[in-house]
Amino acid sequence: MIRCLAVDDEVYATKMIADYISKVPYLELAGTTTNAIEALSRIQQGDIDLVFLDIQMPELTGIQFLKLCGHQCKVILTTAYAEYALEGFEHDVIDYLLKPIAFDRFLKAAQKAFNIFSTAKHQLNPIDSNPIINDQPNYMFIKGESKNKFLKINFGDILYIEGLKNYVSIFTASQRFVTYQSLQGLEIQLPKPPFYRVHKSYIIAIDKLRMIDGHTIYIGDKAIPIGETYRENFLRLITD
């Protein structure tokens, strides 16, 4: 679990981040505060992994906080001001979320954090038989057709995913799910293996693959093209 602290001088903002954290299975809420100095003291105790940090705060700005914090924890900035993005990334923040923050955008940032912590854990414990990456959830949430509706999809049920302009279709054996986000954004949430991008418009679950015939993959009766950009790496994966 990634222990998180939400820091914002607006109470409603910390409540929203806390609510979002509660929906992500690999995040754990360690606390919320509207006082940046209090947050800095909490981080110095060494029990916080990730901070969701506002920038415009009265006692201590988010940028000042980053300078004082050093590398004691990872940070995702949450702000209404786009102009601080470059300076934020110069301090090695994981992501920069602009308010109002939609849950799917929050989830994308959380997945970036998960990948970073997983990689670090694996590097520290290369012979560990149960590295943190094995704790990745076996499902994801996608945004439904209404504003506050989210659908849970088990990774094991997915056959393939097709991207169409500004939305994607997720196909299982019995159902098609449609969600309005990019294929690239969804790809970040998917574990590898079993999911691999084989075309600019397709991601497949390789364990559901039935046959490869030339430049075409078959999953059930569905024929999926292999893009030239992805063909060499994909065939190397198959043969290895």
What digits encode the pLDDT tens for the residues 118-159?
Answer: 776 544 444 443 443 445 568 887 877 766 677 888 999 999
**For residue 185, pLDDT beyond 70:** yes
Residue 41 CB partners (closer than 8 Å, separation 6+): none
Residue 120, pLDDT score: 66
What is d(CA 40, CA 53) in angstroms, rounded to the nearest whole number?
A: 11
Percent of the residues in the chain that have a pLDDT greater than 90, as a whole number:
40
Task: Name residue 158's beta-bridge partners.
Answer: 172
- The count of other CB atoms within 10 Å of the CB of residue 33 is 17
Residue 240, pLDDT score: 65
Could you tell me the CA-to-CA distances from 204 to 71, 184, 224 in Å, in that order? 37, 13, 9
Residues in the chain: 240
**For residue 217, pLDDT beyond 50:** yes
Domains of the chain are 2-124 (3.40.50.2300), 139-239 (2.40.50.1020)
Could you tell me the CA-to-CA distances from 198 to 18, 154, 176, 224 in Å, in that order? 36, 21, 20, 9
pTM: 0.55
Task: Name residue 168's beta-bridge partners.
Answer: 163, 179
Reduced DSSP (H G I as helix, E B as strand, rest coil) percent helix, strand, coil of the chain, to 5: 35, 30, 30
Q: What is the DSSP letter of 56?
A: -
Residue 78 CB partners (closer than 8 Å, separation 6+): 8, 13, 17, 52, 53, 54, 97, 99, 101
Q: Assess contact for 196 and 203: CB atoms under 8 A.
A: yes
What is d(CA 188, CA 210) in angstroms, rounded to the nearest whole number?
A: 25
Q: Assess contact for 181 and 168: CB atoms under 8 A.
A: yes
